[in-house]
Amino acid sequence: MKVPILGAFYVESKVKIMPWWIHAFWDWFWYYRKGKIKYRVLDFGDTYCASAHNGKISVWNCYGSTPEQALKVANYRMKVALEEINRIE
């Protein structure tokens, strides 16, 4: 695929996949280090599936009919998982 650069000049563009460790570092630096939770919502046609990660705990298969409902389910399941781990420790 040719990508235009500066008008008439074209450069051949090749898709490069970044190594896994770059993604892992990015997630650690922007999400987990600051205590944030990373959410991901996937569209499955008529339903949405959400997952949540905080660096130590992950929850997945949180379904909802809208992205907001799937995020609410993921947030609730993450809260329950964190409470259970705090209760065990």
pLDDT at 14: 52
pLDDT level of residue 88 (50, 70, 90 thresholds): confident
The enclosing H or E element of 59 equals: strand 58-64
pLDDT digits (tens, 9 = 90+) for 38-73: 889 999 889 999 999 988 899 999 999 999 999 999
* pTM exceeds 0.75, yes or no: no
Closest CA to 48 of 70, 76, 73: 70
